[in-house]
DNA sequence: CAATTTTTGTGATCTTTTTATCTAATTCGT
DNA sequence: ACGAATTAGATAAAAAGATCACAAAAATTG
């Protein structure tokens, strides 16, 4: 079930991209695909695609390509699409609330089940998601107990930079295993906790830099 | 003014992180800093930090470190913090509206000045940002004229995957130079246009994969 | 002011990632 | 069923990126 080879980081980062693309092919009723076409759609070299897939074994057939359904099923398992991942939003400011309400991080295997905030007034907030379910907001003091009660191991961190590290420490103490960090701070966590940074401002600044310095960037092919 | 060396991609991606950190130091009244401390805060190796800086020349002093103000001023220029970048949001669904209202991509040099949508009803939307300014929403048919009128060269793409490529083609035709792509599609653009992908779902899926396959990821130090 | 400490900047090296090329398996048309 | 066309998977090479380690420069100390 689990891969027996060590998967390179860069490959792991591409897996959700493959998964999304395969889903769209499947929905469109496309039955087979080859590495060249995948390459064109996702903008990585065809050799990279084949190499990535090969870490998981021989998934394709020479002279034929890849069977979309089989590949999709496989990556579905690899990405734990079968199991439901309960997620908590920590920091229910504008961004946190927006993520809860509109389920921007949306996928069948991810469900935001609760929110936390330092401000006790936020407890009165009744945040309804798109399905009409009310997502409870708790005080940050109840982090540990509430997370454990529902067995939540993934957190979305949407607190201001100032309190990001302090709240992170509490999340770690509460047994959180993964943090999607929207704060502009690079948080410190022990080795056993995974962090994925999603900084909206950083992305935009990088883009502007790339636009302004087009000629100066290496391999901006 | 512009760097005379080719800046590696990886370095360019770290510039906004340095900038944010330096700003926070400056605000805190800290006058000098060394690569080791920077390294601890931003979680990249100290040698990487020094190497990154060195692409822009000798910014530090041996035996002393870096002067925070001077370094901040320098990166401020590198990242065009002095010039105002007008940005348009294309696709005023939940995510697009949230970005416009709450200015999540917020920084002094970035201003969202207009929105676009296929749905003509959206034109009646009066979206006020946090400063109380009303951001107009136009029909996507007016893309070219409105963008050119205000000299907008950066777009935030928040349309559904289905229409992402079609809208991208229109943006390119309208002369857009950079796209911050929130759609799950890897869009195709000509060589002269820069794309930065920010996929919320992908980030979360990658995180879950990293959490579930901790032992299988290479150099998850 | 000499000795010691600090800390940068960078050549050298190592690691990771990407790309190119080759080989052999499989398909497909006839 | 055969031969040409296709295409994955493997191997090799190249490129990009991270890290090591140390000389040189500057600061600090006694």
CA A78 to chain centre: 14
pLDDT in tens, A66-101: 999 999 999 999 999 999 999 999 999 999 999 999
B4 vs A3: which has the higher pLDDT: B4
Band of pLDDT at residue B104, cut at 50, 70 and 90 = confident
Band of pLDDT at residue A50, cut at 50, 70 and 90 = very high
Instruction: Supply the pLDDT for residue A216.
Output: 79
Q: Which of residues 112-151 of A touch B (CB under 8 A)?
A: none
Instruction: Return mean pLDDT, chain A.
Output: 92
Instruction: Supply the pLDDT for residue A84.
Output: 94
pLDDT of residue B108 exceeding 80, the answer is yes
Q: How far is B26 from chain A (nearest CA, A)?
A: 14
Of A15, A43, A218, the CB nearest to B6: A218
What strands, in cross-sheet order, belong to the sheet with A154-157? A137-139, A110-117, A85-90, A154-157, A178-181, A194-197
Band of pLDDT at residue B3, cut at 50, 70 and 90 = very low
**Number of Cβ pairs closer than 8 Å across A and B?**
217
Share of chain B above pLDDT 90, in %: 84
pLDDT in tens, B10-35: 999 999 999 999 999 999 999 999 99
A95 has a chain B CB within 8 A of its CB: yes
pLDDT of residue A2 exceeding 60, the answer is no
pLDDT in tens, B127-163: 888 888 999 999 999 999 999 999 999 999 999 999 9
Q: Determine if residue A79 is labeled as part of a ligand binding site.
A: no
**B contact test, residue of A199, A211, A215, A220 with most B CBs within 10 A:** A211
Band of pLDDT at residue B113, cut at 50, 70 and 90 = very high
Instruction: Supply the pLDDT for residue A186.
Output: 97
Contacts of B43 (CB under 8 A, 6+ apart): A186, A188
Q: Determine if residue A171 is labeled as part of a ligand binding site.
A: no
Of B105, B161, B221, the CB nearest to A201: B105
Q: Assign a CATH topology to domain B9-78.
A: Arc Repressor Mutant, subunit A (1.10.10)
Q: How far is A139 from chain B (nearest CA, A)?
A: 23
Instruction: Return mean pLDDT, chain B.
Output: 93
pLDDT of residue A221 exceeding 80, the answer is no
- Range picked from A44-53, A116-125, B1-10 for highest mean pLDDT: A44-53
Count the alpha carbons within 13 Å of A12 in the hemisphere toward its beta carbon. Answer: 25
**CA dist., res. A157 & res. A178, Å (int):** 10
What is the biggest distance separating any 2 CA atoms in chain B, rounded to whole angstroms?
Answer: 63
Band of pLDDT at residue B59, cut at 50, 70 and 90 = very high
**CA dist., res. A54 & res. A36, Å (int):** 15
CB contacts, 8 Å: A19 with chain B: 205
Cβ B32 to strand D below 7 Å = no
Average of pLDDT values for A110-121? 93
Kindly report the backbone phi and psi dihedral angles of residue B29, in degrees, each rounded to the nearest multiple of 5, phi listed first: 80, 15
**CA dist., res. A138 & res. A156, Å (int):** 15
Q: Assign a CATH topology to domain B85-203.
A: Rossmann fold (3.40.50)
Strand C: which residues have Cβ below 7 Å from it? A 8-11, 44-45, 47-48, 51, 61-64; B 34-36, 46-47, 50-51, 53-54, 58-66, 218-219
**CA dist., res. B73 & res. B59, Å (int):** 11
| Secondary element (H or E) of residue A47 | helix A46-54
When mean pLDDT is compared across A162-166, A208-212, B122-126, the lowest value belongs to B122-126
**CA dist., res. B204 & res. A76, Å (int):** 15
Given a contact cutoff of 8 angstroms between Cβ atoms, the answer to whether A104 and B94 are in contact is yes
**Cα angle B107-A120-A89, degrees, rounded to a multiple of 5:** 55
Q: Which residue has the tokens 């070219």?
A: B144
Q: Which residue has the tokens 């529902």?
A: A150
**CA dist., res. A161 & res. B155, Å (int):** 26
Instruction: Supply the pLDDT for residue A5.
Output: 67
Alpha helix ranges (H) inside chain B: 9-27, 35-42, 46-54, 68-78, 94-102, 143-150, 161-173, 200-212
CB contacts, 8 Å: B18 with chain A: none
CB contacts, 8 Å: B99 with chain A: 200
Q: Which nucleotides of D are covered by protein (CB under 7 A)?
A: 5-11, 15-21, 23-28
Q: Which of residues 156-195 of B touch A (CB under 8 A)?
A: 156, 161, 177-180, 184, 186, 188, 191-192, 194-195
Given a contact cutoff of 8 angstroms between Cβ atoms, the answer to whether A157 and A133 are in contact is no
Spell out the domain ranges in chain B. Answer: 9-78, 85-203
For residue B83, what are its two tokens? 């010039």
**CA dist., res. B53 & res. B19, Å (int):** 12
**Shortest CA–C1' contact from A61: which nucleotide?**
D8
pLDDT of residue A22 exceeding 90, the answer is yes
Instruction: Supply the pLDDT for residue B5.
Output: 67
User: Is beta strand A66-67 parallel, antiparallel or unpaired with respect to A32-33?
Assistant: antiparallel
Q: Determine if residue A141 is labeled as part of a ligand binding site.
A: no
pLDDT of residue A106 exceeding 80, the answer is no
Instruction: Supply the pLDDT for residue B175.
Output: 97
Band of pLDDT at residue B1, cut at 50, 70 and 90 = very low
DSSP character for B182?
-
Given a contact cutoff of 8 angstroms between Cβ atoms, the answer to whether B138 and B126 are in contact is no
Instruction: Supply the pLDDT for residue B199.
Output: 86
Beta carbons of B85 and A3 less than 8 Å apart: no
Contacts of A112 (CB under 8 A, 6+ apart): A87, A88, A89, A99, A100, A103, A105, A129, A135, A156
């Amino acid at each position: 079930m689990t891969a027996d080879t060590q998967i390179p980081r860069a490959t792991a980062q591409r897996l959700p991209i493959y998964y999304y693309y395969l889903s769209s092919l499947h929905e469109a009723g496309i039955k087979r695909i080859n590495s060249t076409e995948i390459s064109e759609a996702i903008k990585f070299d065809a050799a990279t695609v084949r190499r990535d897939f090969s870490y998981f074994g021989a998934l394709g057939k020479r002279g034929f390509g890849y069977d979309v359904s089989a590949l999709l099923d496989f990556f579905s398992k690899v990405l734990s699409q079968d199991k439901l991942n309960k997620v908590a939003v920590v920091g229910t400011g504008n961004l946190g609330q927006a993520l809860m309400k509109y389920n921007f991080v949306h996928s069948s295997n991810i469900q935001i089940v609760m929110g936390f905030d330092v401000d006790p007034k936020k407890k009165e907030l009744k945040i309804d998601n798109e399905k009409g379910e009310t997502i409870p907001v708790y005080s940050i003091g109840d982090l540990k107990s509430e997370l454990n009660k529902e067995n939540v191991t993934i957190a979305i961190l949407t607190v201001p930079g100032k309190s990001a590290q302090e709240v992170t420490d509490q999340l770690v103490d509460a047994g959180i295993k993964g943090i999607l960090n929207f704060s502009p701070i690079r948080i410190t966590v022990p080795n056993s906790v995974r962090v994925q940074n999603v900084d909206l401002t950083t992305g935009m600044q990088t883009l502007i830099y790339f636009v302004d310095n087009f000629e100066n960037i290496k391999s901006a092919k």
